[in-house]
Structure 1
Amino acid sequence: MVTAWVRRVLVVEDQPAMRALLCDMLAHRGFDVTGAADAAEATALFAATDPDVLLTDIDLGSRPSGVELATMLTGLAPHLAVVFLSSFPAAVAASGHPGPRGAVFVSKLDVSSAEVVVDAIEAALRTTTPPAPPALVRVSPLAALTRRQIEILALVARGWSNEQIAHERGTTTRAVERAVSRIFARLDLAAATGTNPRVRASALYLAEFGPVA
């Protein structure tokens, strides 16, 4: 069963009635909504909610303002879409008011229409870049080996026989045979057919560390 992606909205509005109206509108439209009364509360909720959209009044009754809050949060999450509420959105937008690029302005006089708010959110989302997927972390094929096993594998990669390795390390040939067998097992080469596990293990070492001096 595929679960639909639910977009999360952080609503920041200092007037309780307006905040409740916005949250109720968006919740009924299928958004996951969290409300905050000011920038301090919004900042505290931001990490826990990881919103896709910030819907904030510009004048929050205290500093930081909605614009300052949006600038700070988009610095932390560049993919965050921003919608500003204002009594005079056209004037604010035309004034070159600082704020994140791509922010959408909505008149508070139009908030009685849920479609206006939802359309503004959709427009803001279209201007943002989704967060980049986490970088793939390369795992060495030799990560399963101990330091001692890698030292032995280095000698194998030089083309040394078990007898030569035993002489170099001051141990018995039998002990080296057991150590090499365990190396092959950890590299999942012991059961391989058609190829020499010693050759394959050497190739893995050389690919990781380069030519052996």
Structure 2
Amino acid sequence: MLVALSVAKDQGWTSFQVLGLLGFGLAMLVAFFIIEQRVKEPIVPFALFKNRAFAVSMVVGFFAALGMFGMIIFVPLELQGVLGASVTNSGLLLTPMMLGLIVASILSGQLIPRIKHYHYLGTIGIVLMMIGIYLLAQTTTSTAQMSITIDIVLVGLGLGVTMPLYINAVQSALPMRYLGVGTSQIQFWRNVGGTVSSAILGSI
């Protein structure tokens, strides 16, 4: 399916190659789901998705990674194409995102144990990410570099809040024997989101 998304821009969404690859990928997903339901030790324990906190955490992790990898891959290209930034400078402009991520991760880690309804922090993080990504999408040749930096920091702050929070949410919601599986699933769905991000955004 990722190959189909990657070649769709050149081959066309209704081409035989793209539709064939999408169909084959969908069939493999169905087969994977059926097999995972029957094996004793599944890679993806779908039964855990009945737990609301677990399911929400996986969905948020997927889309957070989709946004993060989309930023890392395509924002430098946008800065080069729209603002005429050099390859080095366009890469350096992503540094504020990582700084924002680190600072927000540390602060949210300190706040989570002190706030009863800490899931509201996750909502704040998601909103910050969405605002930052939306503002970056509005970049034009007249956009100031400081404005872009602030937008990138917003995305980093949002990521920094959501990443540790939803790991904590999963570990708090699952029984002890599922902690390892649940925690690994967060990283699994983040990896899937990052992979899908490069394929989908590259085809647009």
TM-score (norm 1): 0.22
Greater gyration radius: 1
More strand by share: 1
Greater RCO structure (CA 8 Å; 6+ sep): 2
More helix by share: 2
TM-score (norm 2): 0.23
